Each structure stands twice: as structure tokens, then as C-alpha cells.
Amino acid sequence: MAKNILHMLTPLKHMSPFDVNMAADAGFDVIATYAGVNPEEVRGLVQDSIFSRSPNDAARTGIFFAGKNAIQALDMMKTAQESFVPPFENNLFADPAGSFTTAAGMMACVEKLLKTKFDTTMKGKKVTIFGGTGVVAFSAAVIAANEGAEVYLVGYDGTKRVSGIAADMKSRFDVEVYAADGSSEEARMESATGAEIILSAGPAGQQILTEEQLKAVSGLLVAADVNAVPPAGLGGVGVHDDGEPLGFGKALGLGALAIGNVKYQAQHLLFKRMIATDKPVALDFRDAFEEARKFIA
């Protein structure tokens, strides 16, 4: 039987050991890593991988896209798809900085809390996402918008960059996401006002809203924070929180370690899907959300 081979590509200087370990534990027989990969090099690498094996073994070869940029990883995966010459095709999976699966884990946890604690869904809810220029925020915004939420992407340096990111989401995924200003304490509070769901996906160790500011958000249902490095991105949300009451209103906390467990399982299950499939697949944060919500159902 043909071996399961995974080629892991990153535009960065190094491939993440985390991702390599995850792929190995999922069961790939051979793992090859490629660092410093320019987007224009993807086509050649992909075609080397498809033409060196029989089309019957296409689903035994996978290509993983890493890095730290959502749009770049999605573009590299799109280039890979366009480089196929059917029936020569491979499996593809994008998860830059593990952020696609982190966002999927967070949104699956939020969805479960809404269902089990409030008997509701994301549809029609105002979702404010801090850390709006990052990969986690990008992925979470598209997932929430696809679920019918009214999504606001907050930029720490104002609305210009997040407006461009929201426009990219519209063109790629046909979802409406709104830009919001997070350049000052007052602007952040205005962006949070009226939100039923607040997500913090900013840099580690930087507090975005204090506990007192969070308490001032009337009608808040879920506050989720992917930051495990003190101080918390959202004051009062503990890293172990998995639906713990925050001590005001109906608000529940969702912390980094609870999210991280579901993230880990989502990434593991997607690698396993690549190994098990009989037909080539292309996987991104939407597939990760599917696996995450099934895992915690």
C-alpha cells in the first residue's frame, strides 16, 4: 500500500514544530517540511508532488500550508488547486499559525454555550471581535457571519486595515463583516456596546477590556479569550473557563485552555481526514469548525 506523505509549506524561516508533531501523531508515514516558500514557488512544488505518484495514490499525498497570514495561506492553497492536472490531485489543508483551528475551536465552544445555556444560536447576535487584523479574528469573523451573526471586526489601529480585511472576506466568502475602531479605550468600549458575544484574539499578554469595562456591556452572553498569557485579554475571563459565570448579568466566560483543547482535536481530526479519505480534499477553517462542533456536540 502507498505511504501517506505530507509536504508542509511555510513562507516563514521555520516550520512550526507544533504542526509537525500534530501531523506525525495523526499517522503520516513521511513528513517533509519546506521553509521560506514564496507564493510563486507553490505551483512547482505541487506539480512535483502530483506527477511523482499514480493518480490512484493522489489521496495518499497531502500538502499543508502554514505561516502567519490568513489571506496568504488561502491564496497559496488556491494556487495549489489551480496547479492540479486532473486526475493528478492531492489533499490540501491550510492552518497558518494553528489559527484556523483555534478560531474553529473557539466558535464551536461559543455555539455550544449559546445552545446549552441560553437555548439560542449565533444568528442575529452582535459579535465583536478584537484583534481584528489577525488570523484567528479573520476566521472567527467568517464563521460567525456564515452562522448569521452581525459581526464587527475591531482594528487596534483604527478602521482602515480591518475595512480592507472585511472587503476581502466579502469577495472570498460572500459574507458581510463590519469594521470597528479599537484605537482607544473609548473606541473599544463603543465597539463592545450591545454585543452579546465578545471575542478577544489580540496579542498575547495585552489586555483589551478590563473586568469593569466588560461588566458595562449590557446583555453580554459569552466572552471568549484565546490569550493564555497574563494579563487576560478580557478581564475576569480565566484560562480554564468553560462556561463559568462572570459574576454579572448572564455573561459566561470561555478561556484559552478550554478553547485550546477543542482546537487540538480539530487539527488532529483534519489530519486524520486527509489520511482516511479516498478522494482529495481541500480543508480550511470552515472544515475545522465542522470537526470542532462535531467533537464537542
Cell of 116: 446549552
pLDDT at res. 58? 87
Residue 1 confidence (pLDDT) above 80? no
Residue 242, helix vs strand vs coil: strand
Q: Is residue 112 domain-resident?
A: yes
Angstrom distance (rounded) from CA 180 to CA 246: 25
Per-residue pLDDT, averaged over 143-159, amounts to 97
Centre a 10 Å sphere on the Cβ of residue 210 and count the other Cβ atoms it contains.
Answer: 15
Q: Do residues 146 and 251 share a domain?
A: yes
Domain boundary among 77, 94, 111: 94
Contact 200, 226 (CB under 8 A): yes
Angstrom distance (rounded) from CA 67 to CA 205: 21
Structural domain boundaries enclosing 147: 99-259
pLDDT band per the 50, 70, 90 thresholds, residue 287: very high
**Domains contained in the chain, number:** 2
CATH of the domain at 128: 3.40.50.720
pLDDT in tens, 160-191: 999 999 999 999 999 999 999 999 999 999 99
CATH of the domain at 50: 3.40.50.10280
pLDDT at res. 105? 98
Q: Is residue 156 domain-resident?
A: yes
Q: Is residue 288 domain-resident?
A: no
Per-residue pLDDT, averaged over 134-143, amounts to 97
* Residue 50, Ramachandran bin (φ over 0: left; ψ between -120 and 50: alpha; else beta): alpha
Q: Is residue 264 domain-resident?
A: no
Q: Do residues 25 and 9 share a domain?
A: yes
Q: Do residues 103 and 243 share a domain?
A: yes
Residue 292 confidence (pLDDT) above 80? yes
Q: Do residues 90 and 104 share a domain?
A: no
**288 Cβ partners below 8 Å, 6+ apart?**
95, 100, 101, 103, 104, 105, 266, 267, 270
pLDDT in tens, 217-238: 999 999 999 999 999 999 999 9
Q: Do residues 125 and 169 share a domain?
A: yes
Angstrom distance (rounded) from CA 8 to CA 234: 34
Domain boundary among 76, 94, 112: 94
Per-residue pLDDT, averaged over 112-123, amounts to 98
Amino acid occupying residue 218: S
pLDDT at res. 56? 87
**What CA dihedral angle connects 5, 11, 17 and 22, to 10 degrees?**
-50
Q: Do residues 158 and 249 share a domain?
A: yes
Residue 214 confidence (pLDDT) above 80? yes
Contact 48, 37 (CB under 8 A): no
Average pLDDT score, the chain: 96
Cell of 82: 489551480
* Residue 277, Ramachandran bin (φ over 0: left; ψ between -120 and 50: alpha; else beta): beta
Cell of 46: 505541487
Q: Do residues 237 and 117 share a domain?
A: yes
Q: Do residues 148 and 32 share a domain?
A: no
Q: Do residues 40 and 113 share a domain?
A: no
pLDDT band per the 50, 70, 90 thresholds, residue 270: very high
Q: Is residue 49 domain-resident?
A: yes
Q: Is residue 285 domain-resident?
A: no
pLDDT in tens, 48-93: 999 999 998 889 999 999 999 999 999 999 999 999 999 999 999 9
Which residues, in sequence order, are bridge partners of residue 252? 222, 245
Q: Do residues 15 and 149 share a domain?
A: no
Domain boundary among 94, 121, 143: 94
Per-residue pLDDT, averaged over 200-219, amounts to 95
